[in-house]
A and B are shown apart, each in its own frame.
Chain A
Amino acid sequence: MITHKFQIILGVLIILAFLFIVNMVRKRALELKYALSWFIMLIGLGVLVCIPKTMNVLAKAMGIYSPVNMIFFVGFILAIIIIFVLTVTLSRLSARVRKMAQIVAMMNTYQGEDLREEQHGSVSAVQDGRAVLETSGVPEQQAGVEGFAKEAKQARGASASAKAAGKKRNQKR
């Protein structure tokens, strides 16, 4: 049989976890879709803790000596299920990101070539890629690389400041 003390501890823990998750969803840090499985798990555990009799019956049915052990067992199984679903979601997500990156890559033309095209301004040089390389020489290529690095830096700076702005906004809420 479960002691009242432990019953209370478990109950408080469940309530705290529940409030924490609701708050996360409220702040949009956690999507409701993924929070639902946690809610179901907490409600299941809550029922077991509040009505220890169901626990005794279930424990007996499953051949477990101590009802508390059964709480841990059930909680463990549920957690494993959630983790598994999470890995499945993660796999799908990474496939989607990959696909998106590939499509974005196909939409962008190679910018390095475009730069050279502008500098030379001649169609023939662009048509024959090798000619461009030969005439442009090393310094220009380096400039190109530096240009890229600069652009990348700017892009990163922009995203960083966007992030900072996002954080600020969150804090305001």
Chain B
Amino acid sequence: MKKIAIIPAYNEKDSIVKTVNDVIQNAPSFDYVIINDCSKDDTMDICLYNGFHVLNLPINLGIGGAVQTGYLYAYRHGYDIAVQFDGDGQHDAKYLEQMAEVLVRENADMVIGSRFIEKEGFQSSKLRRAGISYFTWLIRLLTGVVITDPTSGMRLCNRRTIEMFANEYPRDYPEPESTVRLIRHKRKVIEMPVKMKAREEGVSSISSLKNTVYYMIKVTIAILIERIR
């Protein structure tokens, strides 16, 4: 069974080496591919210097487009399992093997690594948790399925889902929307407790007030529209 970790990276020069080494050491059965989303710092140079396997996007596509590039790569190269693994050092590669096992055992289409099942590790700020539980509530209202951590970037997919994401993936803030999409297509989405770390370097894309308001409104409407698609 071929497995791959998709590592989207935008301006992650301080954490990318650590992240990739984490995957290489703690998830030995996984290949990896870094998608450099036209970083403005020297992320690309660092990757090349270390001999990492990296795809370089010529223009900035945003997180959705970058991750989709990874899914497309995984699909084209015949991978059976692909996991998104963020390049900012929040995710912990020791869970990857376990997640893959759960996916196969439960015959699921996607396994989400959730911070809020055992409530351990980095729990994000109070405001963010409120936002996340709002999405949990919205998704439960619309689909009846409880996803405790719909914004988690740590998501492991089987080949069917890889194909679906390679064809169509939201452009920005893709996680909640694409999860709803999977549920609507009667795919099996399950969650598994993981611990995450606080972001070590760089800043979240959702930090200013303007971005937060835009994020909440956009994702809400996207989920609603996804429901009537």
Contacts and interface: CB of A to CB of B under 8 A. Distances in A.
Nearest to A39: B221
Contact of B59 (A25, A31, A39, A100): A100
A100 B168 CA distance: 21
Contacts of B168: 28
Given A32-B218, A33-B172, A26 B59 contact: no
A39 B58 CA distance: 32
Nearest to B224: A22
A15 to B, nearest CB: 16
B59 A36 contact: no
B127 interface: no
Q: Is the interface of B mostly helix, strand, loop or mixed?
A: loop
B221 A32 contact: yes
B55 interface: no
A163 interface: no
A103 interface: yes
Interface string B159-177: 0000000001001100000
B58 A36 contact: no
A118 to B, nearest CB: 27
Nearest to A93: B59
Interface string A22-55: 1001101001110010010000000000000000
Interface in B101-133: none
B223 to A, nearest CB: 11
B186 interface: no
Given A26-B228, A28-B168, A33 B218 contact: yes
Contacts of B222: 32
Interface in A68-116: 96, 99-100, 103-104
Interface residues of B, number: 12
Interface residues of A, number: 14
Nearest to B221: A32
Contacts of A103: 58
A42 to B, nearest CB: 13
Contacts of A99: 58-59
Contacts of B172: 33
A78 to B, nearest CB: 17
Contacts of A100: 58-59
Contacts of B225: 22, 25-26, 32
A100 B60 CA distance: 10
B209 interface: no
A126 B141 CA distance: 68
Interface of A: 22, 25-26, 28, 31-33, 36, 39, 96, 99-100, 103-104
20 contacts: A22-B225, A22-B228, A25-B225, A26-B228, A26-B229, A28-B168, A32-B218, A32-B222, A32-B225, A33-B171, A33-B172, A33-B218, A36-B218, A36-B221, A39-B221, A96-B59, A100-B58, A100-B59, A103-B58, A104-B58
